[in-house]
Chain A
Amino acid sequence: MPVIDQEKCIGCRSCQTICTVDAIHFKDKKCKIDPELCTECYVCFRMKICHEGAIETQDLAGFYKQFQHVLSDPVETHGVTGVTGRGTEEVKTNDVSGRVKKGEVGLSIDMGRPGMGVYLRDAEKVAMACAKAGFKLAPQEETPLAALMPDLNTGKLIDECLNYRLLSVIVEGRCEEEKIKDVLKALMKVQHEIDTVFSLGLISRVDPDGHCKALEYLDELGIPQPHRGKVNPGLGKPLSTA
């Protein structure tokens, strides 16, 4: 984890300016990283912001600290998903993987984004609310969070991880098209029970005009129609027709 050598620190506060989650405190004319707030994103270290060379890294002690780092630092590659940081393949390779099939809807719930960070206890609340509404949470071959989730049917996380803070983590999975209304309703409720934000992506196979049936449900629920999208134009091979 990154630490600031108190002997070398001259208190210029440059590192405070670039810290992604406000985890660097200034006290007694020195800067210090709060280990509880730090998400191990390593921006302060990687960008060489300290001209005195006061920012150093120490070994990440234990599985959860390493998990924090791999998910918060996009330069790292997750060992199981093969994707950098906390990312997943979601719609990006759906033309080849066929992960979200016709008649299904996927959700990518990017917890802690934009910019607030997320304690895993809040990710658990969202995962459990979705699972209860009939959402099938993705396994660990597809998404990193599942490594901390012994039972995908409930979304409950391992207790020991709940107080770790990450820059972001994705709650991801899919369900039958007709169930998505229930899942969105569950998200509308649980959003008021968490101490952070999430950016929500709805993934679907589409017709040539870029439409899908799930969008029709949004009006019924009072959710604004999307104006942005990540469009996969089906150039990957072999092309999934699922």
Chain B
Amino acid sequence: MTHSLHRSGDIESQKKDFVWFMYQTKGVNDKNIKPKALEFIAVAEAVGSENWGDVKTGPTVLCSVDEIRNNLSDKSRIRGVFTKREQVVEFLKQIKAKDLGMSVVIAGVLSEVIPACKEAEATPHSINYSLGVWGKKENLPDETTLSITTMCGHHMISPKFVKHVMKRVQKGKWTPEEGALKLATYCYCGIFNQVRCADIIKKSLPETDLST
């Protein structure tokens, strides 16, 4: 799930992008997780998670909620996205009150996530800090494309596909929202933030080079 942590793009835009997870620990609480997963899903839905999913079935932008719920198993991984800090606070408050014992992770801009944890009285225990991208960076795609492809945790969205979607939006065949939704279906985990993606498409279209 590289890109729940290492997302690219404008910081202000990233401040509207929070990834939430429920995790079971191997050998400790990884059996019969379905009842707890359903509780997590209920809270996420109530708080208004824009997209969520289980990698074993798919995201809500592709599959029905019932299908995801019915397919839950001990191999499931439940995660999704919020677009507002208030949603993170409410999510943490409710999950803490339920005391389910599963690990929770919130990924995002630290200046937003840490205060949200404090407000929910959920004290940070450990953090995986992003130290950015290293190595042959000159071969990476442009920053706009990267800000979209890095919203899929496992790089299931190719840079060429982003350009393809942008072209169709530019030609008026899709709205930015429709284009963003199309891209979101390729991220099986459900952590692709289609709301932020539509914003990025809208803001970048006039200046993006779509020639390749």
- Contact status of A237 and B101, CB under 8 A, knowing A17-B164, A75-B56, A206-B124: yes
Residues of B within 8 A of A96 (CB): 25, 28-29, 103
Q: Is B114 an interface residue (CB 8 A)?
A: yes
Q: Is A143 an interface residue (CB 8 A)?
A: no
Which residues of A in the span 172-230 have a Cβ within 8 Å of any Cβ on B?
A: 187-188, 191-192, 194-210, 212, 215, 218, 223-224, 226-230
Verify B130–A201 contact, CB threshold 8 A: yes
For the complex, give the distance between the alpha carbons of A191 and B137 in Å. Answer: 10
For the complex, give the distance between the alpha carbons of A95 and B24 in Å. Answer: 11
Q: Is A77 an interface residue (CB 8 A)?
A: yes
Grouping DSSP codes into helix (H, G, I), strand (E, B) and loop, the A interface class, with mixed when no group exceeds half, is loop
Q: Is A43 an interface residue (CB 8 A)?
A: yes
For the complex, give the distance between the alpha carbons of A227 and B131 in Å. Answer: 9
Total cross-chain contacts (CB, 8 A): 273
Q: Is B35 an interface residue (CB 8 A)?
A: no
- Contact status of A230 and B135, CB under 8 A, knowing A17-B161, A77-B75, A235-B102: no
A3-11, A56-64, A84-92: which lies at the interface: A84-92
Which residues of A in the span 94-144 have a Cβ within 8 Å of any Cβ on B?
A: 94-97, 100, 106, 108, 110, 113-116
For the complex, give the distance between the alpha carbons of A237 and B120 in Å. Answer: 18
Q: Is A147 an interface residue (CB 8 A)?
A: no
Verify A228–B136 contact, CB threshold 8 A: no
Q: Is A33 an interface residue (CB 8 A)?
A: no
Q: Is B211 an interface residue (CB 8 A)?
A: no
Q: Is B82 an interface residue (CB 8 A)?
A: no
The listed residue with most A CB atoms (<10 A of its CB), out of B102, B105, B128, is B128
A: contact size bracket: 35 or more
Tally of chain B residues near chain A (CB < 8 A): 79
B42-50, B148-156, B169-177, B201-209: which lies at the interface: B148-156
Residues of A within 8 A of B130 (CB): 199-201, 226-229
Q: Is A93 an interface residue (CB 8 A)?
A: yes
Verify B2–A212 contact, CB threshold 8 A: no
Known A97-B25, A237-B101; 16 more pairs at CB < 8 Å? A93-B24, A94-B125, A96-B29, A110-B6, A113-B155, A191-B134, A201-B5, A206-B127, A229-B110, A230-B106, A231-B110, A231-B114, A233-B120, A233-B123, A233-B125, A235-B103
Listed in ascending order, the chain B residues whose CB lies under 8 Å from chain A are: 1-8, 11, 14, 21, 23-26, 28-30, 55-56, 75, 77, 92, 95-96, 99-111, 113-114, 117-118, 120, 122-137, 139-141, 146, 149-150, 153-161, 164, 185-186, 188-189
Write 11 A-B pairs (CB below 8 A) sorted by A numbering: A19-B158, A43-B158, A84-B56, A87-B1, A94-B103, A114-B8, A191-B134, A197-B135, A229-B130, A233-B123, A235-B102
